[in-house]
Amino acid sequence: MLIAAGLKRIAEPSPPVCRGFVKSVFGKDGMTSVRFAMVGGGGGAFIGPIHRMAAALSGNCELVAGAFSRDAHNSQATGVQLGLDPHRCHAGWETLLSDEAARPEGQRAQFVAIVAPNAVHAPAAIAAMEAGFDVLLEKPLADGLSAARAIAQAAQRTGRLVGVTHPYIAYPMALQARAMVAKGELGAVRRVAVSYIQGWLGASEDEGGKQAAWRLDPAQAGPAGAFGDIGSHAFNLVETLTGETIVRLSADLRATLEGRRLDDDGAALFALSGGGKGTLIASQVCAGEANGLSIAIWGEKASLHWAQQEPNALRLLSRGKPEQVWRAGSDQAWLEEAVRTGCRTPGGHPEGFIEAFANIYRDFSDTVAGRTVAMPAFAPIEAGLRCMAFVDAAIASSSADGRWHWVAVHNG
């Protein structure tokens, strides 16, 4: 999670606005909620509240236990404030797992959400799976490709479900784009342009700049800066929406501000498995930009434009026809059914980031409960692995003056 600067700072500027939730039970077809435990996300954490807001809004899961912090007092306090049974609030994921595993089936957590620092991901996730829990991981999957592969092997060995939270693919109109490409409405994908532009690390005197010391320290943050933090979201968006893989890339990364040792800005050319080409930009030093993730997918029959900052519209440009704008809404009959059920309100009632994140919790919980999910909003473990491989390939290419590198999980 250390790399996940873009996401982690979500509640930074002010005290956590969302102050949690505990329990969510609902009654569609008599379904009961799915119980989960959280590792990380104690007082002072940033991404934890987002996960809890998302879970609250998902309507089908319930937080029942946690190891919110290595600091026992913090973990207890967090749990109690969230209304948890104090006996289910632990100082370490080890005791959390053993305690939960020992509880009766109808009471114990069914999955574990891990929002702790990246280095904790692999040991906690593997132990959780071995103890019989499914696992939902804040991205990145792990603090390196080999740790990530260990998680994947554990998943295969234990047969447990692993999901990764890439919220940008969970927006209804991103799901719609994915469905339209999959159904061939664009024809062959010819070109993709994705960019993820932020400005918060752009000035050494800003808050973001001050944090750069450790944030952009390889020892703490891993091998990549912006490309790991937000470039991986852009990469995942491309692969998810096109349904193809980025097979090769040529990258050019750099640390813009003096004294930084990790990239805060970069771009890459890439080639898709289906023959198309693309560009990817990830930068955190562009003055005035907030969270500018956008993508264009150009095909032989039609093209799509989507921008995260106005997520409820999807522009469709077709050869020989007027442009269309498809808009989110549970009542927009022309949307895929899986997209409509990913909308909580009818057309004209904007939904946003938290709702997208809630779709992840909803779909992961439904999958844990054995319910069929047509187009899951959470990223599968393979996607998490590929993001790690992408970062490695980008760094390698950039270090080799842009020589084209393969993006492969298994050739490291």
Near a second copy in 237-296, by CB under 8 A: 250, 252, 254, 256, 265-269, 277-279, 281, 283, 285-292, 296
Instruction: Kindly determine how many residues on this chain lie close enough to bind a second copy according to the rule CB under 8 A.
Output: 120
Minimum CB separation from a second copy for residue 219, in Å?
26
> Does residue number 369 form part of the binding site for a second copy (CB under 8 A)?
no
Q: Which residue has the tokens 């999910």?
A: 373
Contact pick of 318, 369, 373, 408 for a second copy (by CB under 8 A): 318
Minimum CB separation from a second copy for residue 300, in Å?
6
3-class DSSP assignment, residue 194:
strand
> Does residue number 401 form part of the binding site for a second copy (CB under 8 A)?
yes
Minimum CB separation from a second copy for residue 243, in Å?
18
Residues 154-193 that bind a second copy (CB under 8 A): 186-187, 190-191, 193
- What is the rounded distance in angstroms from the CA atom of residue 153 to the CA atom of residue 98? 21
For 57, other C-beta atoms within 10 Å of its C-beta total 19
Backbone conformation region of residue 217, classed left if phi is above 0, alpha if psi is from -120 to 50, else beta: beta
Minimum CB separation from a second copy for residue 180, in Å?
11
Residues 6+ apart with CB under 8 A from 218: 261, 262
Peptide bond into 140 cis (omega under 30): yes
Helix (H) or strand (E) holding 123, with range, is helix 118-130
Residues 14-73 that bind a second copy (CB under 8 A): 14-28, 30-31, 33, 43, 50, 53, 56-57, 59-60, 62
Residue 280, strand partner residues: 194, 268
Residue closer to a second copy (CB basis): 160 or 171? 171
CA 13, 18, 19, 20 torsion-angle sign = negative
Residue closer to a second copy (CB basis): 276 or 384? 276
Minimum CB separation from a second copy for residue 381, in Å?
26
Longest dimension (CA), the chain: 65
- What is the rounded distance in angstroms from the CA atom of residue 123 to the CA atom of residue 226? 25
Contact pick of 110, 240, 245, 303 for a second copy (by CB under 8 A): 303
**Of 90-98, 112-120, 210-218, 322-330, which segment contacts a second copy by CB under 8 A?**
322-330
